[in-house]
Structure 1
Amino acid sequence: MSRRVVRQSKFRHIFGQPLKTDQMYEDIRVSKVTWDSSFCAVNPKFIAIIVESGGGGAFMVLPLSKTGRVDKNHPLVSGHSAPVLDIDWCPHNDNVIASASDDTTIMVWQIPDYTPVRSITEPIVTLEGHSKRVGIITWHPTARNVLLSAGGDNVIIIWNVGTGEALFVLNDIHTDLIYNVCWNQNGSLISTTCKDKKVRIIDPRKKLVVTKSFDEPIVLQEMDTSNGVLLPFYDPDSSIVYLCGKGDSSIRYFEITDEPPYVHYLNTYSSKEPQRGMGFMPKRGLDVSKCEIARFYKLHERKCEPIVMTVPRKSDLFQDDLYPDTAGPEPALEAEEWATGKDAGPLLISLRDGYVPLKNRELKVTKKNILDKRALQGPRRSYSTCDSSLSRTVLEELLEEIKSLRAMVQGQEKRISELEHKLSQFTNGTS
């Protein structure tokens, strides 16, 4: 008789379980926009969910600990003039999130550690360059302030958020709608899927497709995806890919290896209700004391349900084999270094003692003054020497007035922030 040999893997018995009702987020009007993004983004501090809103687009941000029923008047992040289609937390600053919208813009927001008493309507910076809706955004994994966006114009733009400028524009690679974009681990390449049924590996700094060998897959895994698109989430620490079908009620997971057959089916987590979207927690946000190797945030029509994936272990000790050093919150490169060709892998941290999120750090944006350029170029072409001298004087006065008004506004914003913080302390009973 022949015996079937079962492949050995420490991940064969991953156990998925939803958290209890009091640990869910309830009474949330999840967006009904028919778009293929996950509609949810999480990090060790916050959960952000794209929601229904009148008069434009908005998303809600909640501290992870703010479970239970959400107040219907909870402040939103609302600055877009059309529906928000995608959101993504900055991997190097847990208080910074980017949003992409049907209004063709990308906005980057600073989220305070305390809960504001009114909606946040002023982004740190607005990025404008797409001619059609922007449906995909994703931050660079290792370089500070580098953000990628892809729009319905079939264009990919890579931005330096710290200056508000486009670093690279890839406008002649895709001839049809871009479905998804992701970075490799050190951010030297991107992978895209497109409506033309092609997968491309692209060097974004050279603006070139660098591989042509995708005619035949090395392995093909057939799946029932009749209910909607698949949302893939990959954990490089464990080499596990999780596939969540939008409109489906299950999460299938596979282990990836370097030898044939390369893809190994592990198991399926199933539930009764379909998911409208899904958030995936970075590894540093997991509870290592409970052998948690993944955590999902499943969107229903009116709530968000956390689902925990664990590897059962009898020992209470830290499990080194489950938690190799993982990507930390510090960037390995500055945007300018990456733009000039430098690459670096993520800076790793140990999870042995757990991870404590860093305190609020502000994102600084330094824009070039376009008025200075106009002052030098405009008058010389349009006026006589006398008029040019006069207009330069007027312009200097205007610049001084703008500078004064900006300082006044910044002072008032600081005062408002201080008062909000004091109010939140009274509300939370700390004063």
Structure 2
Amino acid sequence: TAWSPHSPSILSSVSSDSHCRIFDLRTPASSSNHLVALIPIHGPPPTLGGPPNPMQRTMPPAEALTHDWNKYRSTVLATAGVDTVIRSFDVRNPRGGPIAMLEGHKYAVRKIAWSPHLSDVLLSASYDMTCRVWSDGTNNTNTHPGMATGGGSQIGQMDRHTEFCTGVDWCLFGSEGWCASVAWDERLLVWDVRSHMGPQAHGQ
């Protein structure tokens, strides 16, 4: 589960049925137990016409393991899980499909976290023993052909862990790149995201 950082009454959950559920405590409890939106995580992304988008396919349902709300865009959240794909959604259009799909991990993604400093950047921790840095493409004018929004891309990778990565989070204070990760190798690593990003990422 995750509380929205923008509203004290909105929270969400993901589960093994490949859906994200949004709850609003302002609604009557008798109204589907406060459920206000049901998002099918495995749906295809929207298109704007043009040539077929190779990413436009309905994925088989897979267990969702993690999700997080964007810290700057109050209606955007991201999900990830067993199928290795990170997806972002606009909860105002629960049946509209993902607005970005981020692919690159080799095994299940156990934890994701949006940056508290940059609106388009998030971190992920995976059973492939890597932590990766992503942009969801919203600050990129070169959108993927046929997609309604930017397709997003990987902009960095940290591979110092030697076992499954299970957690990652950003530091709210000091330098905007500091984060920490944990893994089955029984280590907690503190590192600077910027030292693992390519020169094209946010002018680094």
Q: What do residues 358-401 of structure 1 show as CA deviations (whole Å, max 9, x unaligned)?
A: xxxxxxxxxxxxxxxxxxxxxxxxxxxxxxxxxxxxxxxxxxxx
* Partner residue, 2:57: none
Which of 48, 69, 79 is the matching residue for 2:12? 48
Aligned to 2:107: 132
* 1:250-285 CA-partner distances (Å, limit 9, x unpaired): xxxxxxxxxxxxxxxxxxxxxxxxxxxxxxxxxxxx
2: CA distance, partners of 1:195 / 1:50? 23
Q: 1:106 to 1:140 in 2, by over 3 A?
A: same
Q: Quick one: which amino acid aligns to residue 168 of structure 1?
A: G
> Does 1:165 find its partner at 2:153?
yes
Residue 67 (structure 2) pairs with residue 204 (structure 1): no
Structure 1's 88 and 200: CA in aligned 2 closer, same or farther, altered over 3 A?
same
Q: Secondary structure at the match of 1:339?
A: helix
Distance 1:177 1:47 in 2: 28
What's the CA shift string for 1:408-430, capped at 9, x where partnerless? xxxxxxxxxxxxxxxxxxxxxxx
- Is 2:163 the partner of 1:176? yes
Structure 2 partner of 1:82: 62
The answer for the alignment partner of 1:360 in structure 2 is none
Query: 1:154 — aligned with what?
Result: 129
Question: Which ranges in structure 2 are unaligned for 5 or more consecutive residues?
Answer: 43-60, 138-149
Report SS of the residue matched to 2:194. coil
Deviation string 1:172-211 (CA, Å, 9 cap, x unpaired) is 3111111211111243211112211112111222239xxx
Paired letter, 1:97: L
> For the residues of structure 2 that align with 1:181 and 1:136, how far apart are their CA atoms?
6
Asked if the contact 1:78/1:121 (under 8 Å) is kept, the reply is no
| CA distance in 2 between partners of 1:64 and 1:44 (Å) | 14
Structure with greater proportional helix content:
1
State the partner residue of 2:80.
Answer: 100
Match of 1:371 in 2: none
The answer to whether the aligner puts 1:191 opposite 2:180 as a matched pair is yes
Q: Is the 8 Å Cα contact of residues 22 and 36 (structure 2) preserved in structure 1?
A: no
Q: Which amino acid aligns with 1:87?
A: H
Aligned to 2:140: none
Give the SS at the match of 1:120: coil
Higher strand share: 2
User: How high is the TM-score relative to the length of structure 1?
Assistant: 0.36
Give the structure 1 partner of residue 26 of structure 2.
65
- TM-superposed CA distance for 1:153, in Å, is 0.4
What displacement does 1:59 show?
A: 1.4
Q: What amino acid maps onto 1:173 in structure 2?
A: R
Cα distance change of structure 1 residues 337 and 128 upon mapping to structure 2, 3 Å threshold = closer
State the TM-score, normalizing by the size of structure 2.
0.72
CA contact (8 A) 2:64 2:82 kept: yes
Does structure 1 conserve the Cα–Cα contact (< 8 Å) formed by 2:24 and 2:36?
no
Residue 39 of structure 2 aligns with an amino acid whose one-letter code is V
Q: Distance in 1 between matches of 2:203 and 2:192?
A: 13
Alpha-carbon contact 1:44-1:64 (below 8 Å) kept: no
Give the length in aligned residue pairs: 167
Instruction: State the distance in 1 between where 2:161 and 2:19 align.
Output: 29
Deviations 1:121-144 (A, max 9, x none): 511011111111111100111112
Larger Rg over CA atoms: 1
> Cα RMSD between the aligned structures?
2.5
